[in-house]
Structure 1
Amino acid sequence: MSSDTVPSKRPEKTTGLHVGDPAPGVKKVDPILVADHVKRTFGGLTAVDVEHVEIPRNAITALIGPNGAGKTTFFNLLTGFDRPDTGTWEFDGRPLAHVPAYRVARMGLIRTFQLTKSLGLLTVMDNMKLGAKGQSGENFFRALLPFLWSGEEKANEEKALDLLTRFKLDAKKDDYAASLSGGQRKLLEMARALMSDPTLVMLDEPMAGVNPALTQSLLDHILDLKAQGMTVLFVEHDMHMVRHIADWVIVMAEGRVVAEGDPHEVMQNPAVIDAYLGSHHDSDLGETETEHVTAMKELIDDEQ
C-alpha cells in the first residue's frame, strides 16, 4: 500500500485502552486475551519468549516486528496450531492451554493465515458453509435424516450469501475457490471467518500478496469488524496501514515484546527503531525486508 493510501472510512480511534505508561506487558483496561510466560523453542533457537501481553477488547491491535521476530509463531501458539514449551494464556477469561485449534475456533477466536487456506476444489459457497459452527448435518446419523438439518443448511446459505455480497464475491459463489485471485482468496478467508460469529479475529498479514486494487476493500472490511463489535489482532508489515487503522501496536523482536503503545508514538520508541534499523546495519537484506525497513524509516521521519 502506498503512503498516500488511507482507509476510505476514517476510523474512530479507541482511547483509554491501558493503565499506566505504555510499556511491554502494560495492563489493559478490558483485555480479551492475556498471555503469560509463553515460550517456544526449536532446538537451540528461541522463537517466542513473551513474558506478559494483553490484547484490548473492541480495538484493532497491530502486531509488528522485523522478519523472524516470532509474530506468526506466537499466533500459532495462541490459536492451538502449535504448543509452547511453557506458558499460560486465556481468551475472555477461559484458559486456552492444551485446547485444540478447532475448539479455540468454537470459543470465538478465529484466525486467518498469511497463505490462504481456502479449499480450491470446493466452490466459494461451499467454502463459506464450512465456516459455520454447530452444524447438525455434520453428525453421521443426523446426516441420514435431512429433515433435521435442512432448515439450518438454508439459513447458513443465506448468511453466506449475505457475507459474500458484502465482500463483493457473490458473483463468484459457484466458482471453484482455486479460480480466485490472491486478493479474492484473502477476502474469502475473512468472509468465511465471519460465518462463525467470532469475538476476536486474528489476521496474519492480511495484505500480503494482495493486488493494490483490492487493498482498499480489505482495509475497509477490517475496520468494519471493529464497527460490528469484534476485536481485531493482526500481523502486518505495511507501517502506513498500521498507523492509519490500528488503535494499539505491539512490537516484537527476537521473540520478545519490546514495545507497546499508540501507533504514532511507538514509531519513535528507541527499542522499535533499533529492532527495525539497528540489527540491519551490517547485514544484507532481501528485497521484502528492505522495503519494510525503508517504510519504517519514512514513518519515523514523518513522525519527527
Structure 2
Amino acid sequence: MSAETAAEALATVPAEPGAPKPDPILVADDVVRRFGGMTAVDVGHLEVQRGAITALIGPNGAGKTTLFNLLTGFDQPNSGRWSFGGRSLAGVPAAKVARAGMVRTFQLTKALSRMTVMENMRLGAADQPGETFARALVPPLWRPRERAITAKAEELLDRFRLLDKKDEFAGSLSGGQRKLLEMARALMSDPEMVMLDEPMAGVNPALTQSLLGHIQALRDGGTTVLFVEHDMHMVRHISDWVAVMAEGRLVAEGPPGSVMANPAVVDAYLGAHHDTDLGDDALLSDEVAQELEAEAEAEARAHDEESR
C-alpha cells in the first residue's frame, strides 16, 4: 500500500479515539494492565489500519510500551482481548505472536552481542528444520533451508547497509547500527505487521534519514507499521494516522495534522512547538545526508577499532 492508498483508506475515518477503520489488522478491546494501585493501560477500543503507518504517541508514562508488551505477549493484562488478522492473540506467548505475523523491536535493542550480525539475522527466520535434534543430525535435511535463509539475510543486510558487517559481532556495532540490525532481523520472518518502539532513539541524523526511508518502504511493500515515537517531526512526516495515549488511555486519533492541532493534545503533550512542521525543506538534502553518513561511517570505523 502506497502513501496515497493509505491516506485514501483513512480519509473517511472520524478523528476520534477508538474510531473504526476500513480494514483493521489489529483490534483491541478493554485492555487493562495494573501495577499495584496504578493503572498503566486502560484502552477501551483501538483499531490499526492494515497497510498504513500508525504512530502511537504520548508523554512519558502514558503506557505506550506497556501496551506494546501486552499486545505482543511480553506481558499479561488484568483484562482485555485483542485479535490480529481476525485471530485472537490474547494470552498467546510472544513466540507464537511473532509466528502469527506480528513482530516488534525494542527501545533498547536486543541484538545478541556475542553473536555475529549474520547469526543474529538467522535467528529471526522461521521454519528452520535444523532446530530439531533429529533433523540436525542429517545435514541434507536442513542445509538447503539454511542457504535460503543466508541469502535472504544478506539481501536484507545489504538493504540496511550492514552487509559489510555480517561477520562482525553485533556488540561491535554502533547504537544506530544495532537499531538497523534489529529492524532487519524482524523482517526475516516476513511479518504482516511490524511494531517499532522508539526506532529513532539514540540514532544519529544520517541513520535517522535511512530509517525513515526503511519504514516508508515497509508500508509501500504492504507491511503494516505501528510505532512509538517522541520525535514529532518524524511522526508528522511519515505517519498516515496518529493515536495519542495519556495516563494509560487513548485520548485522540486522527491524521497527523489534525491530531497535532487538537488543543487537548497540545496542552497535554506537544507544548509550545506543536506547529513546527517537517516539510521537504526540513529534511536533510542528499548532499548533507551523504556528508553525515560519511561521518557516521567514520565514527563506526573508529568504534570498531576501539573494540578490537
Question: Does TM, normalized by the shorter one, top 0.5?
Answer: yes
Contact preservation (8 Å) 1:112, 1:189: yes
Q: 2:68 aligns with which of 58, 62, 75?
A: 75
**SS of residue in 2 equivalent to 1:133:** coil
Name which of structure 1's ranges 61-70 and 208-217 shifts more when overlaid on structure 2. 208-217
Deviations 1:22-47 (A, max 9, x none): 10000000000000000000000100
Structure 2 residue 126 is matched with structure 1 residue 151 = no
- With over 3 angstroms needed to count, the CA separation of the structure-2 counterparts of 1:149 and 1:302, relative to structure 1, is closer
Q: Could you tell me which residue of structure 2 aligns to residue 222 of structure 1?
A: 215
Deviations 1:233-264 (A, max 9, x none): 00000001000000000000000000000001
**SS of residue in 2 equivalent to 1:257:** strand
Q: Could you tell me which residue of structure 2 aligns to residue 264 of structure 1?
A: 257
Name which of structure 1's ranges 115-124 and 263-272 shifts more when overlaid on structure 2. 263-272
Structure 1: tracts of 5 or more residues without a match: 1-9, 277-292
Q: 1:14 aligns with which of 4, 7, 27?
A: 7
Structure 2 residue 112 is matched with structure 1 residue 137 = no
Q: Could you tell me which residue of structure 2 aligns to residue 182 of structure 1?
A: 175
Structure 2 residue 292 is matched with structure 1 residue 299 = no
Structure 2: tracts of 5 or more residues without a match: 279-308
**SS of residue in 2 equivalent to 1:198:** coil
> How far, CA to CA, are the matches of 2:3 and 2:83 in structure 1?
28
| Aligned residue identity for 1:204 | D
Q: How much does 1:111 deviate?
A: 0.2
Q: 1:86 aligns with which of 79, 88, 92?
A: 79
Q: 2:198 aligns with which of 205, 220, 244?
A: 205
**SS of residue in 2 equivalent to 1:195:** helix
Q: Could you tell me which residue of structure 1 aligns to residue 51 of structure 2?
A: 58
Q: Could you tell me which residue of structure 1 aligns to residue 109 of structure 2?
A: 116
Q: How much does 1:17 deviate?
A: 1.9
**SS of residue in 2 equivalent to 1:82:** coil
Q: How much does 1:269 deviate?
A: 1.0
> How far, CA to CA, are the matches of 2:144 and 2:264 in structure 1?
55
- With over 3 angstroms needed to count, the CA separation of the structure-2 counterparts of 1:20 and 1:132, relative to structure 1, is closer
Q: Could you tell me which residue of structure 1 aligns to residue 248 of structure 2?
A: 255
**SS of residue in 1 equivalent to 2:190:** coil
Q: Could you tell me which residue of structure 2 aligns to residue 233 of structure 1?
A: 226
Q: How much does 1:297 deviate?
A: 2.5
> How far, CA to CA, are the matches of 1:264 and 1:133 in structure 2?
39
Contact preservation (8 Å) 1:199, 1:231: yes
Q: How much does 1:134 deviate?
A: 1.1
**SS of residue in 2 equivalent to 1:244:** helix
Q: Could you tell me which residue of structure 1 aligns to residue 305 of structure 2?
A: none
| Aligned residue identity for 1:14 | A
Q: How much does 1:147 deviate?
A: 0.9
> How far, CA to CA, are the matches of 1:264 and 1:18 in structure 2?
13
Number of residues paired by the alignment?
276
Q: 2:20 aligns with which of 27, 34, 38?
A: 27
Name which of structure 1's ranges 266-275 and 120-129 shifts more when overlaid on structure 2. 266-275
Q: Could you say what the CA RMSD is over the residues aligned between the two structures, in angstroms?
A: 1.5
Q: 1:36 aligns with which of 20, 29, 37?
A: 29
Q: How much does 1:20 deviate?
A: 4.9
Contact preservation (8 Å) 2:62, 2:245: yes
| Aligned residue identity for 2:58 | G
> How far, CA to CA, are the matches of 1:189 and 1:210 in structure 2?
13
Percent of residue pairs bearing the same amino acid type: 67
- With over 3 angstroms needed to count, the CA separation of the structure-2 counterparts of 1:22 and 1:193, relative to structure 1, is same
Q: How much does 1:188 deviate?
A: 0.3
Q: 1:161 aligns with which of 154, 161, 180?
A: 154
Q: Could you tell me which residue of structure 1 aligns to residue 237 of structure 2?
A: 244
Q: Could you tell me which residue of structure 1 aligns to residue 289 of structure 2?
A: none
Contact preservation (8 Å) 1:18, 1:29: no
> How far, CA to CA, are the matches of 1:90 and 1:214 in structure 2?
34
> How far, CA to CA, are the matches of 2:272 and 2:193 in structure 1?
31
Q: How much does 1:11 deviate?
A: 5.1
> How far, CA to CA, are the matches of 2:105 and 2:65 in structure 1?
11
Contact preservation (8 Å) 2:3, 2:240: no
Q: How much does 1:213 deviate?
A: 2.0
- With over 3 angstroms needed to count, the CA separation of the structure-2 counterparts of 1:189 and 1:103, relative to structure 1, is same
Give the alignment's TM-score, normalised by structure 1.
0.88
**SS of residue in 2 equivalent to 1:241:** helix
> How far, CA to CA, are the matches of 1:26 and 1:219 in structure 2?
26
**SS of residue in 2 equivalent to 1:16:** helix
